[in-house]
Homo-oligomer: A and B are copies of this chain.
Amino acid sequence: MSDFEERYDDTLEKLKELASEKRYNDLKKEFSSLYPTDIALLFDDMPEEYLPVMFRLLPKETAADVFVELESDSQEMLIRGFSNTELKQILDDLYLDDTVDIIEEMPANVVKRILKNSDPETRQDINKLLQYPEDSAGSLMTTEFIRLRLDTTVAGAFDVIREKGDDSETINVCYVTDEKRHLLGYVTIRTLVLAKDTSARIGDIMDSQVISVNTHEDKEIVAQDMSKYDFDAMPVVDLENRIVGIITFDDAIDVMEEEATEDIEKMAAITPSDKPYLKTGVIEIWKSRIPWLLLLMISATFTGMIITSFEDALAAYVALTAFIPMLMDTGGNCGSQASVTVIRGISLQEIEFSDAFKVIWKELRVAVLCGLVLAVVSFGKIMLFDGMLMGNEGITPTVAAVVCFTLFLTIVCAKVVGCTMPLLAKKIGADPAVMASPFITTIVDAMSLIIYFQFAKLMLGI
């Protein structure tokens, strides 16, 4: 809330003051008027020493909600200070998928303590969830959901929900299975509440057109399917179509946000990280950036070599050098426009490899239009501004023509390369997002120079 955000710094100061003065009753009062997510934000920004005391002041029913939203170093610190009873209490109140997320961030000895303090059944479920590959639907799902039978009545369904509801992450959708847990359909809470006849069989009112994902499906695909179908929750099944868990929309939203950030980072030649920038150390940031910079710098050797091999031409027509940056930048910009558009289209599943020809044909026409406009404008600009206004004698109509022909051809090549590379990456199973601006720029730079010097040789007779 913007309301809360505006008051954030004041609230933080107030909490610090109350904590340092040990005014615990006033702190309790403060907490009761705050939302758990916001309390967690405040806790993460408080001096560490206050954390254990303040956490114990939280109302019992919000403690788990706050705990889940804390940064993992705060969580670790709290767990280390918890008695076994306190730890058990929190673990009981957490949903399984959240427990697993927390465990994945903790050092081994903390994990051991968490598992020791979980009841045997939960421990088994945690271990199962921990085995799913990272980024799979299995690793994202929770195993706590409402399962109904075909011949349960609507009234019976409400009994099941009342019994299991407290432990289920959502009751908004209930899943219908046979006794072997094969997924047969689903009923929403809306259907149950609006049902006129409470003795109706679930099998008769359920929706049997149920869409599910497999445990090993990529979580990005799952999130996109949920967004496409507007699902509250997505059932996850094993290879025999037995339901093993569900993924709720809030987790899907987080995945979509993470994936967009990752794509953006990759497009800017950064190794993605899931830590917020301000909490990431300098060395860590450096590590995520330096490999790409090195690689790209080394690959720029080629452009250097191309220029070196045309040293004589440049010595004869010094004016040519001045246009190198403009040609390279325009080519690079055209290439990134095409590649970024295609990369995003692939991410959103709008563009497939089978669309390659459609895409190339479209980019080719866009490139010709862009190239014509830029070449004509550029010719005018060079003759009028660089030539007449600045009085640069090296600039003749032929030199301007060399620049503009190069510009046109570079743009066409850049757009085609830009749209092709991400599709090729996708085809060979690589990540299309890596084929964004920096890589395209390096390729287009070399291309534009070769084109430039060929035109120069041809038209200026060097």
Listed in ascending order, the chain A residues whose CB lies under 8 Å from chain B are 1-2, 5, 33-35, 37, 158, 161-162, 165-166, 170-172, 189-190, 193-194, 209, 211, 213, 217, 221, 225-230, 232, 249-250, 252-254, 256-257, 260-261, 263-265, 267-270, 276-278, 282-283, 285-286, 289-290, 292-294, 296-298, 300-301, 303-305, 307-308, 311, 314-315, 318-319, 321-326, 328-330, 332-334, 336-337, 339-342, 344-345, 348-351, 355, 358-359, 362, 365-366, 369-370, 373-374, 377-378, 381, 385-386, 390, 392, 436-438, 441-442, 445, 449
Of all chain B residues, the one with the shortest Cβ separation from A340 is B268
Decide if B166 touches A194 in the complex (CB within 8 Å).
yes
Min CB distance A432 to B, Å, is: 13
Min CB distance A410 to B, Å, is: 12
Closest 9 CB pairs of A and B: A268-B340, A300-B326, A260-B260, A230-B250, A303-B325, A304-B322, A307-B322, A282-B365, A286-B369
Min CB distance A309 to B, Å, is: 9
Decide if A326 touches B303 in the complex (CB within 8 Å).
yes
Which chain B residues lie closer than 8 Å to A366 at the CB level? Answer: 282, 285-286, 289
Known A300-B325, A341-B268: A370·B289 in contact at CB below 8 Å? yes
Min CB distance A259 to B, Å, is: 9
Decide if B277 touches A345 in the complex (CB within 8 Å).
yes
Which chain B residues lie closer than 8 Å to A340 at the CB level? Answer: 264-265, 267-268, 270
25 A-B pairs, CB-CB below 8 angstroms?
A: A1-B211, A5-B349, A37-B228, A37-B230, A171-B193, A189-B193, A232-B249, A249-B250, A256-B257, A268-B436, A278-B362, A289-B366, A290-B373, A292-B333, A293-B370, A294-B377, A296-B329, A296-B333, A297-B374, A300-B326, A315-B315, A324-B325, A325-B328, A325-B445, A336-B437
With beta carbons under 8 angstroms apart, the residue of B2, B37, B283, B341 that contacts A265 is B341
Decide if B35 touches A209 in the complex (CB within 8 Å).
yes
Known A297-B377, A337-B289: A307·B329 in contact at CB below 8 Å? no
Which chain B residues lie closer than 8 Å to A161 at the CB level? Answer: 193-194
